[in-house]
Amino acid sequence: MRVAALYDIHGNLPALDAVLEDVERAGVDVIVAGGDLAWSPLPSATLERLLGLGGRCWYLRGNADRGVVDDFDRSRRVATAGKRAHRDFLARLPLRFVLEVDGLGPTLFCHGSPHSDNQRITTATTDERLRRILAGVSPPVVVCGHTHRQFDRRLDAFRVINAGSVGLPFEGRTGAFWALLGPDVELRRTDYDIERALAEWRAAGMPGEFERRSTVSLLDPSDADEIAEYFEGLALKAEEA
């Protein structure tokens, strides 16, 4: 089985559409939508596009998807709330699953880490901390996202892959980032019309938070190493609390 791992889409529909064109050309068997699908000014349109992929798309729930559900349940009028059917779909999604991938074997797909949709694994994560995160994990390959930067890392008997972010990457460069798995690992980048994406978000009423994030991700990408160090600091503080 060959798998396309599409993580952290964040309702960036033009980016998703461009990636899906590349996915079709790659001839994959399964698409994994790895969480943080809809948290954006365009939640419903993004979910409809993903649901239209049918049974070959497997879905994970990310921390931001939990936020979409919470927003809906609190009946707050925010751009991320979406429709009732979409809320119920997100609420039912699993936090992890295992697929048998050609050349890689049993592969665990999760959003943040095997233990939590909010636990960060970054390019700055030490071997010691990563060993703690992987404690008790059986599959030798783990695919995650959440920190919006690609990596392919080997530690002891494990291979840990971050698929990157389709919609809001922190790579220090523009594009939509994803991973092609089987028989090996290819970290992919797809070009798309960023101005179109921002125009669609703004037309939908993009809140200031999305404007700020889109600036450091899409318009003027921030230094990827600085963001990784920042996220790693947050992760360490959370573990100490």
- Domain borders along the chain are 3-240
Asked if residue 178 has pLDDT above 50, the reply is yes
How many other CB atoms are there within 10 angstroms of residue 83's CB atom?
A: 13
CA distances from 234 to 83, 111, 121, 148, 217 (A): 32, 17, 11, 15, 19
> What does the pLDDT look like over 42-96, one tens digit per residue?
888 999 999 999 999 999 999 999 988 888 888 654 445 567 888 899 999 999 9
Cβ atoms of 148 and 8 within 8 Å: the answer is yes
Q: Which H or E run contains 38?
A: none
Asked if residue 30 has pLDDT above 60, the reply is yes
Angle value at C-alpha 189, between 162 and 225, nearest 5 degrees: 55
Q: Which residues contact 59 (CB under 8 A, 6 or more apart)?
A: 32, 33, 37, 50, 93, 94
Give the per-residue pLDDT at 77. Answer: 45
Beta-strand pair 158-162/151-155: antiparallel
How many residues belong to the chain?
241
Residue with tokens 């980016």: 15
**Mean pLDDT in the chain?**
93
Give the per-residue pLDDT at 72. Answer: 82
Give the per-residue pLDDT at 206. Answer: 81
Q: Which H or E run contains 59?
A: strand 57-59
Give the per-residue pLDDT at 75. Answer: 66
Angle value at C-alpha 145, between 91 and 79, nearest 5 degrees: 50
Alpha helices in the chain (DSSP H): 13-26, 43-51, 63-73, 84-92, 127-134, 194-203, 208-214, 224-240
Give the per-residue pLDDT at 76. Answer: 54
Amino acid at site 187: L
User: Which one is the CATH code of 3-240: 3.40.50.720, 3.60.21.10, 3.60.15.10, 3.40.50.2000?
Assistant: 3.60.21.10
Considering the entire predicted model, what is its pTM?
0.94
CA dist., res. 154 & res. 150, Å (int): 14
CA dist., res. 16 & res. 50, Å (int): 9
CA dist., res. 36 & res. 68, Å (int): 9
Give the per-residue pLDDT at 78. Answer: 43
CA distances from 129 to 39, 63, 108 (A): 29, 21, 19
Give the three-state DSSP class for 158: strand
Which comes out higher in pLDDT, residue 128 or 39? 128
